[in-house]
Chains A and B, each alone.
Chain A
């Protein structure tokens, strides 16, 4: 314990060195904007900025990139809330409740909640990182394909409550997502599957962000155009110091979900397969399942913003753990960070902690500092971001449209994805008119490929025996939890019914 504190103090001192501190601040600001630009998520941001870092020492370089990564996690929420376009795949769940809040004139509250939840998520996870990095790395090794699949089942279970009351429509939505998730190459044999019209673009599979931007960005824009007739959505935004203090104080409304989401996000982040996107979706699902008022989710519940934001920041820290201790990226962004480390001559692996303590602790120290600066910078920008909503929608709509096109094009630089995104936009609008929940489809397309891969890997290694999921302790626990979670909403319905029955009896 003492050695950890001494090392951490050294790391913090390193983070406060002028060049490193400058890198943190620049990185956070750049990251904030990279994250806020649809399509330009942290993956692209870090990849684009990687070559620039050859100009500074390795520790400063990785601190810069980590700060960009961090800032982008905060930034993703901004366009999700103000424009309804997920700024990054990790911020998709933030749209669910952030957008309705913004439409009802409480964008400032949603943005503040996103920033504070991100801060809490980041802080909890970096503390966990500091205290338990080596044992957690050991734990991550225990996660084989069977455990990963059980975790995916658990993730699906957290979403049972997400679809609202219309169960057939929810199932339909999940199935659509799963079908779309199978497009591309078969994970095991490498053979093409569902390559519609033989278009080579489908070989890559359907990018989840293309679906999310289409459904939420374009679909939402069409919907808003229809409902508002192009008028101003929010006439006046009250931005005063009292208001701000009130927003910050309302943290008690969501502190519970935030803490849960942060811890969950961190653990999911440390597992090499998952990353921040599934973590944020799971956190949202859990927040809704255990909420006292689950019906308000999706209509503008501030906990629905806090939960995914806490989890995605926590997971981004968590995914650095396998990167540093095992040399395996926990997310696409850390894959690029890892490439950077190798280029600077730092070999991530089980020995990095002992052989390059200055580097590792400098990075950890910088995470504390980056977290602090990002929340300050972010809160300072909120009044500006909120003004966006006071523009007439006839001006906003074309801006959103252009941003969506850019967002669809940027990740793969392929027009195929832009057409697909527009198609999803129209489909999303129609589904919404027909009252279908689209969140389950989004979840299915994220988790589908992960679940498929781990299921098939497990069954290959057990020679087709499904008992593998129940014989291994970690996987059995996950499956048991999943079953519990699936039954929980049914239990609630039964309880409600019983209550109603007794009430009936009492009145009669």
Chain B
């Protein structure tokens, strides 16, 4: 009922506004920007992955809560580790009806694929919806591996034959794998699979030896007693894993996470940016989103938007530049 009242009030207000607009105050009507056609909701990954799930959940919530006068249409542009999506967004400069849901390839792809000509600092920052975390997992059958120390010695004694499963060269988990190789001074065989779920299946089926999957991809197998976490790569222990040490505690400075944020093309109008910030803030604070974050093992505590998000992107971009330089782009792309 309360919602209906709000809607009625909103409708009355918009009627009033349009009347005043007809009265000559056209600039007032322009200030209250809202989408005038369907919004393209670009996903820089394929269907079924984390970014895709998020986009579809957000689209559903926008529809359910009637937050936009025009629908959001999720479109997957997975080509080239996100290169296709970034290029598309760049070419959409000045468009107010296109937004992008990101992974960390938002930072790495422009660094690795220099000829792409994409500078993410020109994009219009909207809001950060979540941070995703990483843990090191092995099969529960590996009774000999109980800690990071026993893991490292197992990898070293296996020589190059230790098989780490991941979601593809240049993806977040391959960067983390390269960071670990550098820190512990070992070499592994990295095998890419089409998605985190398939990696989890191959770990449980003993086709690979370890992985650095996200919590959501592995939790159900942990609950079923099929895989176990050894280390978490967060600054502090997560509430969901009180008994798993962080790499930092063990004296290894490996902290890595993935951001999920929404960004517009370069040169999006201020009015549109404000409208989207408002929209995604409402979604971020909704019970549904917070519940999803909790169940999916995402961290969704702090809302970061607009200029703050730009600053965050700048830091992360720099950090990824350093990471790629220190481990070498070849270690990530597997050449």
Which residues 281-335 of B sit at the A interface, judged by CB distance below 8 A?
291-292, 295-296, 333-335
Contacts A326-B201, A342-B53, A343-B292 given: A187-B192 contact, CB under 8 Å? Answer: yes
Please name the 10 residue pairs, one residue from A and one from B, whose CB atoms are nearest each other, closest first: A349-B220, A335-B48, A144-B207, A203-B79, A204-B79, A350-B224, A141-B205, A328-B197, A51-B60, A339-B53
Q: Mark A315-340, 1 if CB is under 8 A from B, else 0.
A: 00000001000111100100110111
Q: Please state if B78 and A463 are interface contacts (CB–CB under 8 Å).
A: no
Q: Mark A456-469, 1 if CB is under 8 A from B, else 0.
A: 01001101000000
Taking CB atoms, residues of chain A closer than 8 Å to B59 are 51
Contacts A200-B84, A332-B48, A350-B224 given: A188-B169 contact, CB under 8 Å? Answer: yes
- When chains A and B are docked, how far (Å) is the Cα of A184 from the Cα of B46? 14
Q: Which residue of A has the minimal Cβ distance to B57? A: A343
Taking CB atoms, residues of chain B closer than 8 Å to A345 are 291, 295
Q: Mark A180-221, 1 if CB is under 8 A from B, else 0.
A: 000011011111100000001001110000000000000000
Q: Please state if B47 and A336 are interface contacts (CB–CB under 8 Å).
A: yes
Taking CB atoms, residues of chain B closer than 8 Å to A339 are 47-48, 52-53, 56-57
CB distance from A28 to the nearest CB of B (A): 23
Taking CB atoms, residues of chain B closer than 8 Å to A336 are 47-48, 56
- When chains A and B are docked, how far (Å) is the Cα of A187 from the Cα of B200? 19
- When chains A and B are docked, how far (Å) is the Cα of A140 from the Cα of B170? 28
Q: Please state if A322 and B64 are interface contacts (CB–CB under 8 Å).
A: no
Q: Which residue of A has the minimal Cβ distance to B71? A: A51
Q: Is B208 on the interface with A (CB-CB < 8 A)? A: yes
Q: Which of A52, A348, A461 contacts B220 (CB 8 A)?
A: A348
- When chains A and B are docked, how far (Å) is the Cα of A413 from the Cα of B41? 13
Taking CB atoms, residues of chain A closer than 8 Å to B226 are 350
Q: Is A506 on the interface with B (CB-CB < 8 A)? A: no
Q: Please state if A185 and B189 are interface contacts (CB–CB under 8 Å).
A: no
Q: Per DSSP, are chain A's interface residues mostly helix, strand or loop, or mixed?
A: helix
Taking CB atoms, residues of chain B closer than 8 Å to A192 are 80
Q: Is A272 on the interface with B (CB-CB < 8 A)? A: yes
Stretch from B126-134, B149-157, B160-168 at the A interface: B160-168
Q: Please state if B202 and A144 are interface contacts (CB–CB under 8 Å).
A: yes
Besides the known contacts A338-B48, A348-B220, 13 further A-B residue pairs in the complex with CB atoms under 8 A apart: A54-B63, A188-B192, A190-B333, A204-B79, A272-B197, A272-B198, A328-B200, A340-B56, A347-B219, A350-B220, A351-B223, A463-B161, A463-B189
Which residues 166-187 of A sit at the B interface, judged by CB distance below 8 A?
184-185, 187
Q: Is A50 on the interface with B (CB-CB < 8 A)? A: yes
Q: Please state if B201 and A347 are interface contacts (CB–CB under 8 Å).
A: no
- When chains A and B are docked, how far (Å) is the Cα of A143 from the Cα of B207? 8
Q: Please state if B197 and A326 are interface contacts (CB–CB under 8 Å).
A: yes
Residues of chain A touching chain B, judged by Cβ–Cβ distance below 8 Å, are 43, 47, 50-52, 54-55, 140-145, 184-185, 187-192, 200, 203-205, 272-273, 322, 326-329, 332, 335-336, 338-340, 342-343, 345, 347-352, 413, 453, 457, 460-461, 463
Q: Is B87 on the interface with A (CB-CB < 8 A)? A: yes
**Count of chain A to chain B residue pairs whose CB atoms are closer than 8 Å in the complex:** 148
Q: Mark B106-150, 1 if CB is under 8 A from A, else 0.
A: 000000000000000000000000000000000000000000000
Q: Please state if A200 and B168 are interface contacts (CB–CB under 8 Å).
A: no
- When chains A and B are docked, how far (Å) is the Cα of A102 from the Cα of B195? 41
CB distance from B263 to the nearest CB of A (A): 19
Which residues 180-222 of B sit at the A interface, judged by CB distance below 8 A?
189-195, 197-198, 200-202, 204-208, 219-221
- When chains A and B are docked, how far (Å) is the Cα of A43 from the Cα of B56? 13
Which residues 66-90 of B sit at the A interface, judged by CB distance below 8 A?
74-75, 77-81, 83-84, 87
Q: Which of B60, B87, B205 contacts A143 (CB 8 A)?
A: B205
- When chains A and B are docked, how far (Å) is the Cα of A189 from the Cα of B329? 11
Taking CB atoms, residues of chain B closer than 8 Å to A351 are 220, 223-224
Q: Please state if A47 and B47 are interface contacts (CB–CB under 8 Å).
A: yes
CB distance from B165 to the nearest CB of A (A): 9
19 cross-chain CB contacts under 8 A: A47-B47, A144-B205, A184-B79, A189-B335, A190-B81, A190-B170, A327-B220, A328-B197, A339-B56, A343-B53, A343-B60, A345-B295, A347-B295, A349-B224, A350-B223, A350-B226, A457-B192, A457-B193, A463-B160
Taking CB atoms, residues of chain B closer than 8 Å to A335 are 47-48, 52
Q: Which residue of B has the minimal Cβ distance to A145? A: B207
Q: Please state if B189 and A460 are interface contacts (CB–CB under 8 Å).
A: yes
Taking CB atoms, residues of chain A closer than 8 Å to B295 are 342, 345, 347
- When chains A and B are docked, how far (Å) is the Cα of A350 from the Cα of B61? 28
Q: Please state if B56 and A328 are interface contacts (CB–CB under 8 Å).
A: no
- When chains A and B are docked, how far (Å) is the Cα of A338 from the Cα of B49? 10
- When chains A and B are docked, how far (Å) is the Cα of A20 from the Cα of B251? 55
CB distance from A130 to the nearest CB of B (A): 22
Q: Which of B52, B168, B202, B221 contacts A190 (CB 8 A)?
A: B168
- When chains A and B are docked, how far (Å) is the Cα of A352 from the Cα of B223? 11
CB distance from A357 to the nearest CB of B (A): 16
- When chains A and B are docked, how far (Å) is the Cα of A308 from the Cα of B2? 54
- When chains A and B are docked, how far (Å) is the Cα of A327 from the Cα of B291? 19
- When chains A and B are docked, how far (Å) is the Cα of A142 from the Cα of B220? 19
Q: Please state if B63 and A142 are interface contacts (CB–CB under 8 Å).
A: no
Q: Please state if B60 and A50 are interface contacts (CB–CB under 8 Å).
A: yes
Q: Which of A43, A189, A272, A453 contacts B334 (CB 8 A)?
A: A189
Taking CB atoms, residues of chain A closer than 8 Å to B77 are 204
Q: Which residue of A has the minimal Cβ distance to B225? A: A350
- When chains A and B are docked, how far (Å) is the Cα of A324 from the Cα of B160? 35
Q: Please state if A191 and B201 are interface contacts (CB–CB under 8 Å).
A: no
Q: Please state if B163 and A413 are interface contacts (CB–CB under 8 Å).
A: no
- When chains A and B are docked, how far (Å) is the Cα of A329 from the Cα of B198? 9
